[in-house]
């Protein structure tokens, strides 16, 4: 048996607004602009995607699953995401960690990682 990873589903109060934010943050394309299943992907035919689905309840606790991103320049990327509307969050990480924890406009945490050791010099 074989499985294909189709998408990650993210609960949202406003799937269109949150999906558009992530589309801008990642530079991905919208493949379904429906308010019931707003989906973005790196390109239309490339999987996996992110699908934003409406839910009536708000977020109440730290995510049990979160996304990690590794940019070329962590500081530049963190500043860009903050300018788009992300916020810094404390989920109990130590001060000396190599990543920055942010939250999207609906409070979903994600991490912006530092450079890999092999990327230095």
Q: Is the pTM of this model over 0.85?
A: yes
Alpha-carbon gap, residue 1 to 118, rounded angstroms: 36
pLDDT band at 26 (very low <50, low <70, confident <90, very high): very high
Domains 1-55 and 64-121 agree in fold: no
pLDDT band at 120 (very low <50, low <70, confident <90, very high): very low
What are the sequence ranges of the domains in the chain? 1-55, 64-121
pLDDT band at 121 (very low <50, low <70, confident <90, very high): very low
Region 72-79 average pLDDT: 96
Match domain 1-55 to its CATH number in 3.30.70.3270, 3.30.720.120, 3.30.930.10, 1.20.210.10: 3.30.720.120
Instruction: List strand residue ranges (DSSP E) for 1-121, in order.
Output: 7-12, 29-33, 38-41, 49-54, 67-69, 87-88, 100-103, 109-112
CATH topology of domain 64-121: 2,3-Dihydroxybiphenyl 1,2-Dioxygenase; domain 1 (3.10.180)
Region 100-108 average pLDDT: 96
H/E stretch holding 29 reads strand 29-33
- What is the predicted pLDDT for the residue at 116? 78
Tokens of residue 118, six digits = 């092999």
pLDDT band at 23 (very low <50, low <70, confident <90, very high): very high
């Amino acid at each position: 048996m074989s499985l294909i990873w189709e998408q990650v589903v993210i609960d949202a109060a406003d799937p269109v607004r949150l999906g558009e934010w992530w589309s801008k943050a990642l530079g991905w394309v919208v493949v379904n602009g429906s308010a019931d299943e707003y989906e973005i992907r790196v390109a239309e035919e490339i999987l996996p995607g992110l699908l934003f689905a409406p839910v009536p309840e708000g977020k109440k606790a730290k995510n049990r699953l979160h996304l990690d991103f590794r940019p070329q320049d962590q500081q530049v990327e963190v500043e860009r995401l903050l300018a788009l509307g992300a916020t810094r969050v404390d989920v109990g990480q130590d001060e000396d960690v190599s990543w920055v924890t942010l939250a999207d406009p609906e409070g979903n945490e994600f991490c912006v990682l530092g450079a890999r050791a092999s990327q230095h010099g």
